[in-house]
Amino acid sequence: MTNTMPTPREQLAHQLAEAVAEALRADLAVQDKALLVVSGGSTPVPFFDALAAHDLPWGRIQVTLADERWVNEQADDSNARLVREHLLQGPATEATFVPLTTADATPEQGAAEVGERLERLAWPASVVILGMGGDGHTASLFPDSRELDLALATDEPVVAVRTPSKPQPRITLSAERLHRARRHFLHISGEDKRAVLARALAGDGSRELPIRAFLACPLGIYWAP
């Protein structure tokens, strides 16, 4: 029987899961609840699968999203669906998941309710996991979105976002709310994103590359080829 070596991205996912599990354990040693904020997209899937297998006090852990597409939770591109299918499995089924959509037709109509829902969580978050797109966006802070300046400046917890580069309306945690965490990890992979990160690190201006809004706080960068 041949034991195939894990790929660099699988190894990275397990390393990130270990770091996040350790952070949650540390905070739960001194507080009743711990909040984990995760990103959607495709990169997090092996990380979700790895973290779900950790023996944590999941009943005391709250999970929410950094952003969401304004679609039904059963839709293929729902981040809530991704979390339910890959993270909230096994022992992690006991976690409290707080989605970012409502029954409203638009994120503009649902933003206030989502904001109230988020305010009840255990801020500051123990961990925020950020992803990044090839345009330097993170969460749904998109460089081509009319709402970017608002999302970078507001104290509101969430902002409804529309962007020409994505088909669905979105809702995103504001930069201020994403900063309200003890630890930030950036989880990316591939050469293209490495080059975008290098550009972000070499310059200033969050409007051009919104990931830059998170390069001033301590940021654990988890990257694999």
Binding site for ligand 6PG (CB under 6 A): 39-43, 66-67, 79, 131-133, 137-139
- CB 62, min distance to ligand 6PG, A: 18
- CB 81, min distance to ligand 6PG, A: 12
Q: In angstroms, rounded to a whole number, what is the distance separating the alpha carbons of residues 166 and 33? A: 35
Choose between 33 and 194: whose C-beta lies nearer to ligand 6PG.
Answer: 194
- CB 47, min distance to ligand 6PG, A: 10
Look up residue 158 and give its two tokens: 């969430």
**Cα-flanking dihedrals φ and ψ of residue 37, to 5°?**
-110, 120
50: Cβ–Cβ under 8 A, 6 or more apart, which residues?
13, 14, 16, 17
Specify whether the CB–CB gap between 113 and 102 falls below 8 A: yes
- From edge to edge, which strands make up the β-sheet containing 34-38? 96-98, 61-65, 34-38, 127-130, 184-189, 220-224
- CB 113, min distance to ligand 6PG, A: 20
79: closest CA among 45, 106, 41? 41
Q: In angstroms, rounded to a whole number, what is the distance separating the alpha carbons of residues 5 and 13? A: 14
62: closest CA among 36, 31, 25, 101? 36
Choose between 23 and 65: whose C-beta lies nearer to ligand 6PG.
Answer: 65
- CB 154, min distance to ligand 6PG, A: 18
Report the residue number whose CB is nearest to ligand 6PG: 131
- CB 41, min distance to ligand 6PG, A: 3
Choose between 25 and 223: whose C-beta lies nearer to ligand 6PG.
Answer: 223
Q: In angstroms, rounded to a whole number, what is the distance separating the alpha carbons of residues 5 and 2? A: 9
Choose between 25 and 174: whose C-beta lies nearer to ligand 6PG.
Answer: 174
Choose between 23 and 178: whose C-beta lies nearer to ligand 6PG.
Answer: 178
Choose between 91 and 223: whose C-beta lies nearer to ligand 6PG.
Answer: 223
